Structure 1
Amino acid sequence: MTDSPAVGSPATSPPQARPRPAVPRHVDLAHLARALGLPAPPGAGARLLGLTLDSRAVLPGDLYAALPGARHHGARFARDARAAGAVAALSDRPLDGLPTLVVPDPRAVLGELAAHLHGHPSAALEVHGVTGTNGKTSTTHLIDAGLRAAGRCTGLLSGVRVRTPGWSRPALRTTPEAPELQEVLASLREQGATSAAVEVSSHGLALHRVDGTRFRAAVFTNLGVDHLDLHGDQESYFAAKAALFEPERCALAVVNADDAHGRRLAAAARTPVVTFSASGRPGADWRAGEVRADATGTSFRLLGPGTDRRVRLRLLGGHQVDNALGAVALLHATGVDVRDAVRGAEELAGVPGRLERVDAGQPFLALVDYAHNVAGQQRLLPFLRGLTGGRVVVVLGATGERDPGKRAPLGRTAAQLADVVVVTDESPHGEDPAVLREAVAAGARSAGSAQVHVEADRDRALRLAVSLAAPGDVVVVVGRGHDRLLVAGGRTRTFDDAVQLRQALAHLPVAGGR
């Protein structure tokens, strides 16, 4: 899974089956031209059924959006799109063989155009969003669980999974590109869904992926240092997140009052605000107390409007209290009974790649987690330290073509909070993997506290980590979570950390144990 900007050429990850509604709307090109304030181009009578920016995913009757990209312009693939059945195009230049809607910045109009083509499906649904640096995926799944416990017919669009009442598949991006998002929402409407929980990344906001979507409510989890490769600085990163809560887009803001940026957002919001605080901050609408987190789950006292009750989550880690509070606060504010919201949260068995436990009979705890930034490590590793009197062994790397400034801090923080650090490759993309490894390893060595090992091959790195673990230790593989693809030098291969970790554990000398 990636949330990087799409390039004009086909994406690195293979395309998936399109989620076009079973009975798509028919819209003529002239109608879309008028929606953009453009004169009708030659061929304006073309009848459109869908929209995509991936030439490999074109279906007959599509409008092909040819965007400028980091490596190629989508116009390069216009012939392929036409051969696959595209009948028109959107671009910043005319395309040969396709009537083209020409605008200076096609990405900026893509979301609204896709929503228009599909009849603004979010107007027929209660769409709930979640944004922030950490906790987005878990909070999105907790909202979905609460909605389902309340008997709602739901859809889920998270960084892990995209699901409608009729189908389910793994996600490729944290937030889908605008055409896919609107197609999924249109499918939800068609299949009788009433609600949707949508994970909203800063990429999704800055790159206009959620334009055209109306949110009934949205949660702000927190803001750490991340994605500065896209945003440039922390202030721009915050501004991208805050854009979700503009009244033109969202009717209600649910904000973490424990986070400094959350308090800033709550103070400046032009929408109604509900606040929550896992630390029990006075004045917050929803608060937690008596938090206990262990290797079997997390419990806390839930305090809010008319509510004082114990909650026992099956999810691991004290940080899940923040996520559960945000989910319950949003659900209560949008009409879900607190008892249903809590029951859904308590029944959620886990979220793939989020402190996902891997058991193969070994005498130590083994986990996979998505912690891919310093803030995530600072939430995760002290919790793991509290679970054991033994050592904490961390396997990590850094993804290529992403925020170079966080590579050394990732290694340094891991080494400060763990005992053994194994540095390996993630997805270097087009970068030299040795340079990535050395940046992380140098950061780890600079801490001067943990054992630091470097093993380029990820499979061998997992085997090394478990071979170093003794009874009572904790081994955690961080950075990728549920991601099942490794990308290097333009090639993609399947690698599931949980599956490979289980295989590594099976190679331990005594029946998966020591």
Structure 2
Amino acid sequence: MVQLSQLLDALKEKEVCGPQDIEIEEIAYNSKKAKRNSLFVAIPGFRADGHRFINEALLRGVRTVVMEKKIPLGEGITGIRVPNARKALALLADRFYHHPSRKIRLIGITGTNGKTTTSYLIEAILTADKRPCGLLGTIAHKIGSKTIPAQITTPESLDLQSMLAYLVEKKIKYAVMEVSSHALELSRIEGVKFSIAVFTNLSIDHLDFHQTVENYLEVKTRLFTGLAKKALAVINIDDLKGSYIRERTLCPILTYGIEKKADIRARRIDLSLKGSSFKVQTPGWELDIDLPLPGRHNIYNALAAIAVAFLLKIPPSAIKKGLEKVGNIPGRFEKIDEGQDFSVIVDYAHTDDALGKVLSTCRDLTKGRVILVFGCGGDRDRSKRPLMGEVSAKYSNYTIITNDNPRSEEPLSIVSGIEVGMKREDGRYTIILDRKEAIRKAIEEAAPGDLVLIAGKGHETTQIIGTQVLPFDDREVVRRILKDQKSVVRK
């Protein structure tokens, strides 16, 4: 319980009308969760405006409301007007939970691709060095003994601060967190203090939200321009935007890469479908690593994790142990093996850059054909559709274009955008909108030594068609089809 007057110290810009000597038991931004002694924050959302639900919150006993609009609240109700309710929610939550990010070593990872894998690799290294840590990201939020399925990459600020406070309570001193561009733009990490920030890479994505690549880059850069001088930054210097971010970062920086001169660098690289081996050079030591994750892109992810471990003064033996024993990362180049004589990979790649890297890995490591199944999300960035079509035509022998969360868009309209790129590169393709049947067709097409890549959804367990959220897991669909195929052969 915190006095309202103390909470409001967190806000520089505010206009308060009403008493401040009120005890606040909790903060809510969902009116259905509000109750007596709650502080309700009315957020203007994308689908609904929180100001419309102020009356519902008041009926539930709320007597204190934070809002952007000037709305009469009635006698005995304290109203706090702010210029930005999302930012206010973040700062109030940070104050309510007593600044939890200041009490742990928080590692934030941003970039278009590689955030999830890098976070899992850092977690594996910390665990190998007997340093328990929390993990907040795209697949799930692991906080102590709890695992919460993730709805969004970076939780809303109130939920984030609650999770960080739980880690502090459980005496867990480290946390690794994916920081999305949406979280940066929507003030979800306002008030959060990062010990280390990591930049993986930047390619075209989320332009439905950010409008331009320049805006997207500027938002990503905020994680680094907002770092305290005592914080540390880790930057992929091989990426085209790595130098841009380095020039704007004021705290000490550690770079990593393969091509350019970097503080953390990989040499003597050997790639296979089973994984990658390489020698890593750091300012203090060298180490041979056998990484059980295939692909050059995963070496970059491993280098980012090694750079973080180096800054945390984790011994090389623990780094090696953590990386070499890392478990399967759901939906990230995940192999599905039911004893078939061809390979099936499920991967989350849903940008042209990520798809290109995964397909390039498949192409380099496969003697047979590469058969691709993919689609693009509806009501999302349309500019990447022809680019993904181009990449698929370039690296795959045969592509099946299908649905991938079409949402409210007409599926064939999405497909036509992909076809533009496919035709540019004269790619071989067919269209099967039913994703299950598209996967079945790809598996039936596969011959011994071929590789089938199912891209776009990765770890996801639903398919969004219209307003319906239907159960759908690429991995389970593949397993069922392979098992059915096996039983037919036996008969």
**What residue number does 1:137 align with?**
116
Would you say the 8 A contact 1:477–1:497 is kept in 2?
A: yes
Residue 360 in 1 paired to residue 335 in 2?
no
**What residue number does 2:47 align with?**
71
Deviations 1:393-426 (A, max 9, x none): 1111111121111112112211211011111111
Residue 170 in 1 paired to residue 149 in 2?
yes
Q: CA deviation at 1:207?
A: 1.2
Q: CA deviation at 1:499?
A: 1.3
Would you say the 8 A contact 1:53–1:65 is kept in 2?
A: yes
**What residue number does 2:7 align with?**
32
CA distance in 2, matches of 1:324, 1:117: 36
CA distance in 2, matches of 1:264, 1:69: 32
Q: CA deviation at 1:86?
A: 5.1
TM (normalized to structure 1)?
0.89
Change (3 A) 1:33 1:498: same
**What residue number does 2:436 align with?**
459
Q: CA deviation at 1:213?
A: 0.7
How do 1:154-193 residues align onto structure 2 when only pairs under 5 Å count?
154-193=133-172
CA distance in 1, matches of 2:191, 2:395: 43
CA distance in 1, matches of 2:368, 2:287: 34
* 2:369 counterpart (369, 391, 408): 391
Deviations 1:128-170 (A, max 9, x none): 0111111111111111111111111211001111011131122
Would you say the 8 A contact 1:393–1:465 is kept in 2?
A: yes
SS in 2 for 1:35: coil
Would you say the 8 A contact 1:485–1:495 is kept in 2?
A: yes
CA distance in 1, matches of 2:489, 2:2: 59
CA distance in 2, matches of 1:48, 1:502: 51
Would you say the 8 A contact 1:362–1:512 is kept in 2?
A: no
Deviations 1:329-351 (A, max 9, x none): 11211222232122211111221
* Contiguous gaps of at least 5 residues in structure 2: none
**What residue number does 1:103 align with?**
82
CA distance in 1, matches of 2:441, 2:64: 54
* 1:200 counterpart (168, 175, 179): 179
Would you say the 8 A contact 2:109–2:199 is kept in 1?
A: yes
Q: CA deviation at 1:433?
A: 2.3
**What residue number does 2:248 align with?**
268
Residue 148 in 1 paired to residue 123 in 2?
no
* 2:477 counterpart (500, 504, 507): 500
> What amino acid does structure 2 have at the position aligned with 1:110?
L
Change (3 A) 1:287 1:465: same
Q: CA deviation at 1:474?
A: 0.7
Q: CA deviation at 1:311?
A: 0.2
More displaced 10-residue stretch of structure 1: 411-420 or 103-112:
103-112
Change (3 A) 1:485 1:53: farther
**What residue number does 1:210 align with?**
189
Change (3 A) 1:430 1:87: farther
CA distance in 2, matches of 1:267, 1:343: 34
Q: CA deviation at 1:45?
A: 4.2
How do 1:264-343 residues align onto structure 2 when only pairs under 5 Å count?
264-279=244-259, 281-282=260-261, 284-343=262-321
Residue 376 in 1 paired to residue 354 in 2?
yes
Would you say the 8 A contact 2:278–2:288 is kept in 1?
A: yes
CA distance in 2, matches of 1:438, 1:264: 35
**What residue number does 1:21 align with?**
none
Q: CA RMSD in A?
A: 2.2
Would you say the 8 A contact 2:198–2:233 is kept in 1?
A: yes
How do 1:400-411 residues align onto structure 2 when only pairs under 5 Å count?
400-411=378-389
Would you say the 8 A contact 2:294–2:361 is kept in 1?
A: no
> What amino acid does structure 2 have at the position aligned with 1:360?
E
CA distance in 2, matches of 1:499, 1:308: 41
**What residue number does 2:466 align with?**
489
CA distance in 2, matches of 1:320, 1:485: 26
Change (3 A) 1:30 1:418: same
* Contiguous gaps of at least 5 residues in structure 1: 1-25
Would you say the 8 A contact 2:16–2:78 is kept in 1?
A: no
SS in 2 for 1:408: helix
Q: CA deviation at 1:434?
A: 2.4
Deviations 1:361-413 (A, max 9, x none): 22111111111111111211111012222111111111112111111211221
Would you say the 8 A contact 1:395–1:423 is kept in 2?
A: yes
Change (3 A) 1:285 1:435: same
**What residue number does 2:92 align with?**
113
TM (normalized to structure 2)?
0.93
How do 1:233-244 residues align onto structure 2 when only pairs under 5 Å count?
233-244=212-223
Q: CA deviation at 1:478?
A: 0.8
* 1:88 counterpart (64, 68, 81): 64
Would you say the 8 A contact 2:400–2:430 is kept in 1?
A: yes
SS in 2 for 1:259: coil
CA distance in 1, matches of 2:201, 2:335: 25
Residue 255 in 1 paired to residue 235 in 2?
yes
CA distance in 1, matches of 2:488, 2:176: 42
CA distance in 2, matches of 1:121, 1:513: 58
> What amino acid does structure 2 have at the position aligned with 1:316?
P
> What amino acid does structure 1 have at the position aligned with 2:24?
L
> What amino acid does structure 2 have at the position aligned with 1:71?
R
SS in 1 for 2:303: helix
Aligned length: 486
Change (3 A) 1:293 1:174: same
CA distance in 1, matches of 2:33, 2:122: 31
CA distance in 1, matches of 2:193, 2:313: 18
